[in-house]
A and B are shown apart, each in its own frame.
Chain A
Amino acid sequence: MVSIRSIPSTPGSLSIKDMPWIVEHNESRCMLCGRCTAVCPTGAIKLQYMRKRMPKMVLNASERSNTFKIFVGIRQKTDVDHRCIGCGMCAYVCPNQAIGPVFNPIIDRLRYQSTKGGNAVKRGGRRNVPGPNLLDRILFDRISMLTDPALDAGRHEFELNTLLGRVLPPDEYIKRKLSGEWIPPVREIFPFVIGSMSFGALSPNMWLGLLQGVAYCNEVLGIPVVMASGEGGCPPWILKSKFLKYIILQIASGYFGWDEIIRAIPDMKCDPAAIEIKYGQGAKPGDGGLLMWFKVSELIARLRGVPEGVDLPSPPVHHTLYSIEESIMKMIQSLSMAWDFRVPVYPKISGSTSAKAVLNNIVRNPYAAGLLIDGVDGGTGAAYNVSMDAMGHPIASNLRECYLDLCAQGKQNEIPIFAAGGVGKNGNVTQNGMALIMLGASGVHLGKYIMQAAAGCLGDENNRCNVCNIGICPKGITSQNPKLYRRLDPDKVAERVVDTFKAIKTEMKKIMAPLGRSQSLPIGMSDAIGIEDKDVADRLQIKYIC
């Protein structure tokens, strides 16, 4: 037995078996090029000289039986800052397929040690709950067959767009139209929206790629996709361009970027698609936005009107907020007025049991253009781990409750509810989105799915990568470091955006055609869906199927 003192064991000691990801390295294939160690975003691996004993059978007493061999190998670090995040960039760059991370299925011990210096864990990404979510389990079971013929997804025409903006009740519309009164602005948009990801959270190349792709969808393909800016404004050249009409500008509690926006108004060639007032976010309800200092580059600092290299935490609430009534009223009316009441202005809140109260307030505000509810599975660029994993409300029941509440008031066509938070988190983007639409959403916002589909984001629900917060995104999606974001070609991102929306459009038709729907988006068509879970079915007031 070896004395305990000779073993390097402290409370924080970790072996590679304690790590969530273990780097497997095949020495026999390694050509010692060093690319893996150069690319590793956390510096989790290092090339180092190592010695190993080479025992051999020796019959001659004058010779030693053991020899030692010196070799160069890969060693995985086991401290918190240099942990392997499983991104797999080492595998991408290895010319010989000699290295790659493997998920450690046991509960890692790293999590107990990652509060160094008393700092609670912060990260970017998503809520780490792997496996199918509730939306994945919803089936579209009302198939038109003989009672009415199914439509042909490939040949028939389909109306797939939705409305963003407050819609008047028919009698009120006619009255106002005839007397020439103000009619609230309404946008006809594609129901899958690129959700709020700020210019700051995303790299300039990513943002540019998204916008290029969105513009192509609109101008070439006729798919009216819009994207939301997130907090932090927009580069001035976009504000003054004709592409602004594809952008929903977000104002959040830090008001970052709004100096530039307001100053640009006289020079705007068109109105933005809408204004989103962020009151909450599904990934971190009750927390404001957070752009960590790593990402506050010269450009971002200029856009946001702040010094370089400082943390930019937005307050959890708007400072103007005194009560829900006056906050929503003031903000919505001020922002509507800024564009002369030509732009829909709507609030975004995190999924919560209080969502219905917000909704009912909005219903009574004649200027509110809709409501976006962001469920617990939403993603973020930076937040406390506990906020991401444990705070919030799943989107499905929250949305459904709000929709049924609107139905009871007969106002479901007046206030569009947009849903977000985990749409497509397991890749089933159209299925998830259409399920939400049939539960009552007018459309859905996508964040993580777009990052994954359009830019190859490596994050997953096993906490893979998820380092968007510290600016070391190995794909260059969420980094402000030019060395990293140059890895991302905006043209390629644009191509993937277009591919993604074309595919979503096709899949929407493949869902709607068998349901016999083609003339309008099947919002609230709850007779078309079912789930193999009685409790969920009861809660959502949909069919239980088995």
Chain B
Amino acid sequence: MCRLALKTANNPFSPYEILRAMEAMQEGYDGSGLGLLLRGVEFTDFNYEATHPILSGIAHTRDAMKRLNKFMEARGFVLKYDHEFDADFSKIEARDRFKYFVQVYKLPDSWAVHSEEEIEDKLTATRLAIRRDGEEHGGDLTVFSFWPDVIMIKEVGWPLKVGNALGLDSGRIKSRICMAQGRQNTNYGINLYACHPFFIQGIGTMTNGENTAFVPIRDWLTGRHYPAYMGYQSDSEVFTHILHYVTRQLKLPLEAYKHVITPLKTEELQNHPQGDFLLGLRNACRRLIIDGPNCVMGSLPDETCILVMDAKKLRPATIGGKPGEWAMASEMCGVDAMIPDRDRSLDFQPMREHTVVVPPERQEFKIWSQFDPFPLPQAA
């Protein structure tokens, strides 16, 4: 099973801290891999401007790296910073690793005419094109994200060992949010794209559990014909895409996510102040209802973090911390490892109806219940 750890803090911290939390939860996972998402990034070697997109991934061969650089150059991207990991690949199980790239680019000048939304779509299209290129060349290029202020790392192996191999303990990369997950998708064969967290247009989520409603959800999302709704090497990738669909495509508030993935029962909605709207929303988004045991943690572009459970709370999780820094983990010992000096009596384990939201200012976390109304335009 996957173990999840998320920390969000006003002061940037090294991802290595989170790997220690993963170590604390080691009894619960098979240590088959590591997935990291860093947001609110700082480099010690480079003065990063958060508007510049960062490309994260793996070039498995020298040729692939060359091809990638050429690809980016041809499209007018200007390389501002190429992070060199203090990597020791001998400590990693996989042998076909040439370079982990974390590259900061300046957008092509020709993009200046585009709106923000268009630029976001073009960034996504670029990532997908690189991914396709890698797939066309025998999988020699793996790309995880191409987005401002986000770095992603995924690797096979014991999380702490992967961290050591990449020299993450050096503190040369720090972030205000770090999401970590400690398992490759060993259910269906190793595939780096199947490793959580998943990312799409600024939205990242990770899950532990199994989404038994995966196939109908995948089929529906694929039917949107939205280019980035693809991949689906893991049944959990749909959680990220649903969050994207709800907040970015439907432009509904974050609270609606919970109503889409785990809607209330008809009799509960009949007594809900927004029951009429929500019943219709449940019908319209019926194919996005998740199933099985799942705990979903996520972060959004404005550095909001969320935590939700499946409708039966078959996978619990805990949030704890103090003003300025909060940690969520699938195990309490994970929270302990991330923020030991907190008041544990204020820890919270959300129930099936809750969405826990840590707003960007991080002074407190909010517990929102599905039974409460949420802001919708007046007519609803």
- List residues of A whose CB falls within 8 A of some B CB: 142, 144, 147-149, 151, 156-157, 159, 161, 163, 167-171, 173-174, 177-180, 183, 186, 188, 407-413, 515-520, 522-528
Contact = CB atoms under 8 A, between A and B. Distances in A.
B360 interface: no
B252 to A, nearest CB: 7
B284 A173 contact: yes
Given A167-B283, A171-B249, A525-B215, A148 B224 contact: no
A178 B380 contact: yes
A168 B284 contact: yes
Contact of A163 (B216, B223, B286): B286
Contacts of A173: 280-281, 283-284
Contacts of B250: 170-171, 174
A198 to B, nearest CB: 31
Interface string B358-380: 00000000000000000001011
B379 A177 contact: yes
B140 to A, nearest CB: 30
Question: Chain A CB within 10 Å — which of B219, B222, B224 has the most?
Answer: B219
A522 B216 contact: yes
A10 B250 CA distance: 78
Closest 5 CB pairs of A and B: A410-B223, A148-B210, A516-B212, A173-B284, A520-B289
Interface string B219-255: 1101111000000000000000000010001101000
B379 A412 contact: no
B262 interface: yes
Contacts of B377: 178
Interface in B200-227: 209-210, 212-216, 219-220, 222-225
Given A410-B224, A525-B213, A148 B289 contact: no
B290 interface: yes
Given A170-B285, A516-B292, A407 B219 contact: yes
B286 A517 contact: no
Contacts, number: 113
Given A148-B209, A188-B266, A519-B262, A413 B286 contact: yes
A148 B293 contact: yes
A408 B266 CA distance: 30
Interface of B: 187, 209-210, 212-216, 219-220, 222-225, 245, 249-250, 252, 262, 265-266, 277, 280-281, 283-287, 289-293, 310-312, 314, 377, 379-380
A228 to B, nearest CB: 22
Contacts of A520: 213, 286, 289, 291
A168 B250 CA distance: 13
Contacts of B314: 148-149
A517 B212 contact: yes
Question: Chain A CB within 10 Å — which of B214, B250, B285, B292 has the most?
Answer: B292
B288 to A, nearest CB: 8
B277 A177 contact: yes
A165 to B, nearest CB: 8
B291 A177 contact: no
A407 B223 contact: yes
A183 B283 CA distance: 12
B289 to A, nearest CB: 4
Contacts of A522: 213, 216, 291
Contacts of A159: 265
A186 B225 CA distance: 26
Main secondary structure of the interface of A (DSSP, over half): loop
A149 B313 CA distance: 12
A177 B187 contact: no
Given A173-B284, A178-B380, 18 more contacts: A148-B314, A167-B283, A168-B284, A170-B245, A171-B250, A173-B281, A173-B283, A174-B250, A177-B277, A177-B380, A407-B219, A407-B222, A410-B225, A412-B287, A413-B220, A515-B212, A516-B210, A525-B215
A231 B281 CA distance: 35
B265 A169 contact: no
A152 B343 CA distance: 37
B283 A519 contact: no
B187 A147 contact: yes
B268 to A, nearest CB: 11
A11 to B, nearest CB: 59
B286 A174 contact: no
B258 to A, nearest CB: 13
Question: Chain B CB within 10 Å — which of A157, A183, A520 has the most?
Answer: A520
Contacts of B224: 410
Contacts of B281: 170, 173-174
B252 A518 contact: no
B287 to A, nearest CB: 5
Question: Chain A CB within 10 Å — which of B250, B280, B377, B379 has the most?
Answer: B280
A191 to B, nearest CB: 13
A180 B274 CA distance: 15
17 contacts: A149-B314, A167-B283, A170-B284, A171-B250, A174-B284, A177-B277, A177-B380, A186-B283, A413-B284, A413-B287, A516-B210, A517-B291, A519-B213, A519-B289, A520-B291, A523-B216, A524-B216
Contacts of B252: 174
Contacts of A168: 284
Contacts of B311: 519
Contacts of B379: 177-180
Contacts of B219: 407, 412, 524
Contacts of B210: 144, 147-148, 516
Contact of B280 (A177, A409, A515, A523): A177
A527 B215 contact: yes
A156 B312 contact: yes
A88 B97 CA distance: 77
A144 B212 contact: yes
A149 B310 CA distance: 13
A220 B165 CA distance: 64
B284 A409 contact: no
Contacts of A528: 215
